[in-house]
Copies of this chain bind each other. A is one copy, B any other.
Amino acid sequence: MAIFTHKQKDELELGFGSKNYKNPVRFLNKDGSVNVRRTGLGWINNTDIYHSLISASLLKLILLIISSYILINIFFAFVYYSIGASHFGGLEAETGSEFQKFMGLFFFSAQTITTLGYGHIYPIGNAASIAAAVESLLGLLSFALATGVLYGRFSRPKAHVLYSENILISPYKDGKGLMFRITNKKQYELIESEASVTMTITNPESNKREFLNLKLEIRHVNFMALSWTIVHHITEESPLYGLTQQQLAERDVEFIILIKAINDTYSQGVNSRHSYKAHELVENAKFKPLSPESTKRGTLKISVTDIHLYESLN
């Protein structure tokens, strides 16, 4: 059953190897990240901290900043408290319990690390002054780092590509085509976009994963102004030819999409990846055309989520 002995067998080296996996495997997650975890060098060496910070969710980053701020202030409050509350001028005035003294030193720490320095509490003597000098330096360096991370997050060129929820097999020319649609979610331009589609499938004979390139009708668009329907014509040369949806599911098919473009704001190349598994494939359906409205001021207006819409032809 030599399914793959056809002409267009561009076996690709995607760096995943051709090992046989016992369980179904998704090589690319839906968000385009590669489904591999690297270990062996210890957490610190297998992690790029800056990368983690700029790609973490905004909520995580905010929580991290706030909790670091609290913990560092608690740490320095302990340092100051162990030096002795009497070495901090103005603190006595705020009287109170030992706990209240600790809180006063906690707030003094916050005023020091932010270089706020009201001065109603101030260090007296060398130990207290040295600790405060260290903390203010630490504060400045921390905020230098925070500036870098925030800038890195926001300035990182991204391709906000929206992919249609499904990949369709539609009538195309005299036969069929594998089709999905993409558009740009955001109000800036992606230019010189390029697409490539790789199919990975288990070879039923060797039981190994094969990676096959699918030829596209149009590989490149200058603008992605409205949307772009990417089409692979299922000719006799296509590795998809004659395979049913069920066969594709059994062989654990995955369509790996790579989009390259230039983000026009930053004039820099960006990448987007996506993958479809067999259950996201819809046979005998076609996408509904987008309907750009021409507004009064002559601007074309589209709703980007319309790229998901298709109609069944059964």
Contact = CB atoms under 8 A, between A and B. Distances in A.
Contacts of A36: 225-226, 292, 299-302
B14 A222 contact: yes
A33 B17 CA distance: 31
A93 to B, nearest CB: 9
Given A146-B140, A187-B48, A25 B117 contact: no
Contacts of A173: none
User: Secondary structure at chain A's binding surface: helix, strand, loop or mixed?
Assistant: mixed
A226 B130 CA distance: 49
Contact of A110 (B111, B119, B133): B133
Nearest to A148: B151
Given A37-B299, A114-B136, A140-B146, A186 B23 contact: no
Interface string A131-152: 0110011011101111111111
Contacts of A267: 156-157, 268-271
Contact of A160 (B48, B66, B122): B48
A38 B182 CA distance: 13
A14 B48 contact: no
B136 A110 contact: yes
B34 A223 contact: yes
Interface residues of A, number: 124
Given A136-B111, A151-B152, A152-B154, A301 B223 contact: no
Contacts of A14: 221-223, 225
Nearest to A45: B185
A103 B133 CA distance: 12
A169 to B, nearest CB: 22
A155 interface: yes
Contacts of A33: 189
A124 interface: yes
A122 B124 contact: no
30 contacts: A22-B294, A23-B298, A36-B302, A37-B187, A37-B299, A37-B300, A38-B183, A38-B187, A38-B301, A40-B306, A41-B304, A47-B186, A49-B154, A50-B155, A51-B186, A51-B188, A55-B188, A94-B124, A103-B129, A107-B123, A107-B133, A111-B136, A112-B116, A114-B133, A117-B118, A118-B118, A144-B151, A157-B267, A264-B271, A268-B269
